[in-house]
Amino acid sequence: MTRTQRTNTIKGLLFISPWILGFLAFALYPLVATLYFSFTDYSVLAPPVPIGTENYAELAQDSNFMKAVFNTVFFAALSVPLNTALACFLAILLNFNVLGKSFFRTAFFLPSLVPMVCLGVIWRWLLNGEVGLINQAIGPFADFANALLGTHFDTPAWLEDPAFTKLGLVVASVWGLGHAMVIFLAGLQEAPVELYEAAELDGAGFWGKLAHVTLPMVSPYILFNMIMGFIAAFQVFAVPFVMMDGVNEPPGGPGGSMLFAATYIYLKAFQDWEMGYACAMALIFFVLVVTLTITLMKLSERRVYYAGK
C-alpha cells in the first residue's frame, strides 16, 4: 500500500466512522447481546444466570408464542399483499394527467404521516362497535341486505370480537400505504414512454399495457414494497397495543387475537421481566424475517425485471 493509498483509506474510514460506530453500538452489540441473553435467565434487575437452551425449549411449548406467531403471520399475509396492491392501484390512478393530480397525491399520502399512537387512537374510535364511523357506514348496507335477502347480518364488534379484531387492524393498516404509493409513483414515472407507444402500435389497450408494460416495469418496486411491508408487519406493535388499551382488554386482545410477536416480546421483557426469554423470541423472529426476505428475493428472481440488467 502506498502512502497516498494509506492516507485515503484512513480518510475514508474517518468519514464513515460515525456509521461504523453507530453500527457497532446500535446494531451489532445489541444483536450479540440478544444472542447471549437468550441463553440466560435475565430479569434486567438482577444479573443474568446462564441456563443453556431452557428458553428455547420453553418457547417450543409456549401456546401464547404459537398464537403470536400465527397472529403475526396472519396479519402480514393479509395486510401486505392488500396494501401493496392498493398502493400500486392508487399510484396508477394518480399517474394519469387529471385535474388536481397534485392535490390527490398529497391527500392520499397525508394519512401515512400520522404517528402510530394517534393512528391507534383514531382507529379505536372508527372501529367502535356501536358509534364507530366504519359501522355507521356499513350499517345501511347490512340492513339493505337483510331486508332483501331476509338474512341477519350485523355490523361487527371490531375490537371485542376475536373473529374481527385482526381484520379491523388490516383495515387500519391501509392508512399507511402512502409511502409505498409514492415509491410506485416514482417507478411509474421511470417507465419509458416509447414502450407504451410500441404497445399501442401492437394494439394493446389499457389492460394490455398494464399487464405487459406497467407491471413488469414496476416489478422491482413491488418486490421492494413487499419486503419492507413484511418487515413492518412482523414488527406491528403500536397500533394494536393502543387500540386494545382503549377497550380495557388485556394487551393481547380478546381471546389473544391481537397478541403479535412484538407485543409478546414487549410483555415478556418489560412486564414479566423475562428479558432472556424475550431475547430468544426476538432472535427467532429475526431469523424468520431474514428467511422470508431471502425467500422472496429468490422467488422473485425470474419475475422481477430490472431495466438496467
Partner 1 sequence: MLRLASLPLAALALLLASCSPRDRTRTEDGRTIVTLWTSWAGTERAGIDAVVEDFNGSQSEIFVRTLNITDPQTKIMLATAGGNPPDIAIMNNQFIAPYAENNALTPLDGLCSTADITPERFVETFWETATYRGRTWAIPLTCSVTTLHYNKKIFREVGYDRPPETLEELERINDLITQKRDDGSISRIGHFPLEPGWWRPEWSNWLGLGSYDGQDRMLFLDSGWQKAAAWLASYHQRFGKDELIKLRSGFGRFSSPQNPFFDGKVAMVLQGIWMNRFIETFAPDDFEYGCAPFPASQDAGIPYYAIADVDQAVIPKGADHVPEAFAFMRYLIEQGGLEKLALAHGKLTSLKAVSPDFYDKHDHPYLQVHLDIANSGYAKARPQLAQYQNYFTDVNEAANSLLYGLVTPAEGLAQLQERQQKALDKKQLRWSRVEESYQALWQKQIDETIE
Give the residue with the Cβ less far from partner 1, 184 or 264.
Answer: 264
Least distance in angstroms from the C-beta of 139 to partner 1:
13
Query: Between 125 and 305, whose beta carbon lies closer to partner 1?
Result: 125
Closest by alpha carbon to 84, among 280, 232, 242, 303? 232
Q: Dig out the grid coordinates for 72 from the structure.
A: 403475526
Task: Please check whether residue 94 is in contact with residue 109, taking contact to mean a CB–CB distance below 8 angstroms.
Answer: no
User: Quick one: 178 or 252, whose CB is closer to partner 1?
Assistant: 252
Min CB(156)–partner 1 separation in Å: 9
**Least separation, in Å, of the C-beta of 11 and partner 1?**
7
16 — alpha (psi -120 to 50), left (phi > 0) or beta? alpha
Binding interface with partner 1 (CB under 8 A)? 11, 14, 17-18, 41, 43-46, 49, 58, 63-64, 128-131, 154, 157-162, 246-252, 254-256, 267, 270-274
Toward partner 1, which CB reaches closer, 216 or 246? 246
**In whole angstroms, how close is the CB of 63 to partner 1 at the nearest point?**
7
Residue 137 CB, nearest approach to partner 1 (Å): 16
Q: Between residues 105 and 124, which has the closer beta carbon with respect to partner 1?
A: 124
- Rg of the chain over CA atoms, in angstroms? 24
Closest CA to 276 of 60, 109, 52: 52
Nearest distance from C-beta of residue 297 to partner 1, angstroms:
35
Q: How far is the CB of 15 from partner 1 (least distance, A)?
A: 8
Give the nearer residue to partner 1 in terms of CB position, either 99 or 131.
131
Nearer to partner 1, 9 or 291 (CB): 9
Smallest distance from the beta carbon of 55 to partner 1, in angstroms? 10
Smallest CA-to-CA distance from 189 within 216, 220, 214 is with: 214
Pick 153 or 196: Cβ nearer partner 1 = 153
